[in-house]
Amino acid sequence: MPFARVTDARQRGTLLGRKNNGYQVNVKRIVFILICACGFQSKKSLAQINLVPNPSFEDTIQCPNGQGQVSYCKNWFNPTDNSPDYFHNCGMPSVPNNFPIGFQYARTGIAYVGLTPLYNTPNGREYIEVKLLDSMIQGKQYQIEFFVALAELSDSAIDRIGIYISKDSVYNHNSFLLNLPYQPQIENLQGNFIADTLNWIKISGMYNAQGGEKFITIGNFYPDSLTGVVSVPASWSAIAYYYIDDVSVVDSGWVGIEEEQKQHSFSKVYPNPSSGKFTLSSEITKGEIAIYNVHGEKVFTSTINHGSTSLTTGQPSTFDISAQPDGIYFVRIQTAEGMLNKKVVVLR
């Protein structure tokens, strides 16, 4: 539709705020509203920024021409002496066909990485690590997720894949074929075996930042004794091999009052340090509680079910791990909404 030219001064004045057919147009108000809307949209967009650089592994330093070349993927690196793989359709192994490992389209784009969270040698592991674009801020909550798919070469599927969030890199060139002794804050639920070779499976969770965290590491942090394994038919290699794609860490804002209260009620662990006997209380009504040592070995487990088990809703409960050696232990409560963690110290 053609626009009419405004040539009369009185007509221009009408457009700038005078009445015209019962309506009044206020240019300043319109500009103000537009600025506010743009600012709101800008803040909304900022809040959705992914802190993971090269999250879907598209950007290359050079195209891969063999296995064990995750270092060719920009920003990502191998924190151990093992050999995670990089797949990109510009090289070999390619995407989607990377025989003999498997055939898998990228979830987005034209690239992904692959690693072995379970070897045919005791506690054999591969990991990938990346430095975030910015450090996490204390008191903020972050939505963290990544996607995995089992490769066809695998003869096994496992339930232990997660992300460990840290202030410093976990790089250890002496950890060849060994699980890193860290407790992942975001992980697949125990007993939920990831055996799908066609679809990408999401692993996600919310993380309340302590402040200063700027590295994430992906892999299986548990020893073989704590890793659930199931056999997968029509496969030929005695390992579990997984593709990884679309990793994200997104600022979800400040932890709300209810969440702070939840964390505060759970964080009331006393005495701490202790001789191995300590007390905690929680408002959680349903979930699982477990205590781990620094090697990721579970030393205690129980189920919370509306206060009918060892952890009574809203009431202090006492736990005894005095049979364990002195050291640091991690208390974890897993619920449908997420995960709560607390560190306890046994010192005699």
The answer to whether the CB of 115 falls within 8 A of the CB of 220 is: no
| Residue 51: predicted pLDDT | 97
Overall residue count recorded for the chain in this entry? 348
Give the residues across from 218 on adjacent strands: 128, 163
Can you give the pTM of this predicted structure? 0.66
pLDDT at 174: 62
- The whole-angstrom separation of Cα 320 and Cα 141 is 32
- Of 83, 71, 67, nearest in space to 175 by CA: 83
Angle at 317 between CA 314 and CA 320, to 5 degrees: 160
Instruction: Work out the widest C-alpha separation in the chain, in whole angstroms.
Output: 93
Q: Quote the pLDDT of residue 330.
A: 83
Number of helices (H), then strands (E), in the chain: 3, 21
Tell me the residue type at 163. Answer: I
CATH topology of domain 70-254: Jelly Rolls (2.60.120)
CATH topology of domain 257-346: Immunoglobulin-like (2.60.40)
- Given this model, what pLDDT does residue 338 score? 64
Cα of first residue to Cα of last residue in the chain, in angstroms, is 84
> What value, to the nearest 5°, has the Cα angle with vertex 96 and ends 93 and 98?
30
The set of residues, in sequence order, having a beta carbon less than 8 Å from that of 9 and lying 6+ positions away, is none
Edge to edge, the sheet with strand 76-77 lists 76-77, 128-131, 215-219, 162-166, 186-187
Whole-number pLDDT of residue 28: 44
For residues 279 and 286, give the distance between their C-alpha atoms in angstroms, rounded to a whole number: 19
Asked if the bond preceding 55 is cis, omega within 30° of 0, the reply is no
**CB neighbours of residue 185 within 10 Å:** 21
> How would you write the pLDDT of the chain (348 residues) with one tens digit per residue?
433 433 444 444 443 344 444 444 454 454 344 444 444 444 444 447 999 999 999 999 999 999 999 999 999 999 998 899 999 999 999 999 998 899 999 999 999 999 999 988 889 899 999 999 999 999 899 999 999 999 998 999 999 999 999 999 998 766 556 788 899 999 998 889 999 999 999 999 999 999 999 999 999 999 999 999 999 986 667 789 999 999 999 999 887 645 544 554 555 778 888 999 988 776 666 778 888 887 767 889 887 765 434 444 445 678 899 999 988 888 887 776 666 777 888 888
Supply the pLDDT for residue 151: 95
What span, in angstroms and rounded, lies between the C-alpha atoms of 301 and 310? 10
Give the chain's radius of gyration (CA, Å). 26
Domain extents for the chain? Answer: 70-254, 257-346
